[in-house]
Amino acid sequence: MNEGEFCKMKKKIKVIKIDAEKCNGCRACEVICSAFHAKPKYSSSNTARSRIRIHFDPLRNVYIPVFSSFYTPAECASRNKYIINGTEYDECVFCGASCPSRDLFKEPDSGLPLKCDSCEDDPPLEKPMCVQWCLADALTYEEREEEAEEEVKLDELETGLESLIDQFGWQKVIDTVARLTQKD
Ligand code: SF4
Ligand code: SF4
């Protein structure tokens, strides 16, 4: 099936609820997320590789967990400013995009986008790792099933390839793949 086509499917909706008021900024979620996604798994932990980031506002003493979401090759033409209970938050604070205007949610060595995959694993985890490690219950998890007509989405590999092509161009990516396959 090609991208852009639609199909009816039963879909498991995974929801991580964020109660920012309970977040104490321990950053255990960042540590375990980066360790879980290390290759091999748990071989290292570098929070710069985490798919969840804790935003800290020192003036207001507020911690806000933000999950990485999508990759975009272009930065937004406009910005959003949130005011919650009279507190004005900086632009982009709640955005989970991997975009050119900031270094968040990018693999530090390659610059490739990092996207929360809800800790997909085989066998599946009962709960995502960041939820398991959040002892303050700022992150909680629930899932439900829905029947939905879904557009077929790019998977993680295609998203990574799209990002590489945006950075280096088709030809360079193809040449590199050809060179690497000749090594084997
Ligand atoms: S583990 Fe929970 S309490 Fe600790 S920083 Fe992450 S969301 Fe906040
Ligand atoms: S759900 Fe998994 S991949 Fe997503 S931020 Fe939490 S630990 Fe990372």
Domain boundaries, the chain: 9-150, 152-184
What does the alpha-carbon distance between residue 18 and residue 140 come to, in Å, rounded to a whole number? 7
Quote the mean pLDDT of the chain: 88
CA of 21 to the centre of ligand 1 (A): 10
Q: Is the peptide bond before 123 cis (omega within 30 degrees of 0)?
A: yes
146 confidence band (pLDDT: 50, 70, 90): confident
Write the pLDDT tens digit of every residue in 40-80: 999 999 999 999 999 988 777 889 999 999 999 998 888 88
CA of 50 to the centre of ligand 1 (A): 13
pLDDT at 124 over 60: yes
What does the alpha-carbon distance between residue 96 and residue 77 come to, in Å, rounded to a whole number? 16
Name which of 41, 49, 31 is nearest 132 in CA terms. 31
pLDDT of residue 46: 96
Q: Relative to the CA of 28, which ligand 1 atom is closest? A: 1
What does the alpha-carbon distance between residue 73 and residue 154 come to, in Å, rounded to a whole number? 15
pLDDT at 87 over 70: yes
Tokens of 91: 């632009």
pLDDT of residue 84: 80
Ligand 2, residues at Cβ distance < 6 Å: 33, 36, 51-52, 67, 116-119, 128-130
181 confidence band (pLDDT: 50, 70, 90): confident
138 lines ligand 1 (CB under 6 A): yes
CA of 64 to the centre of ligand 1 (A): 9
CA of 53 to the centre of ligand 2 (A): 10
Give Cβ neighbours of residue 56 (< 8 Å, ≥ 6 apart). 25, 62, 63
pTM of the model: 0.78
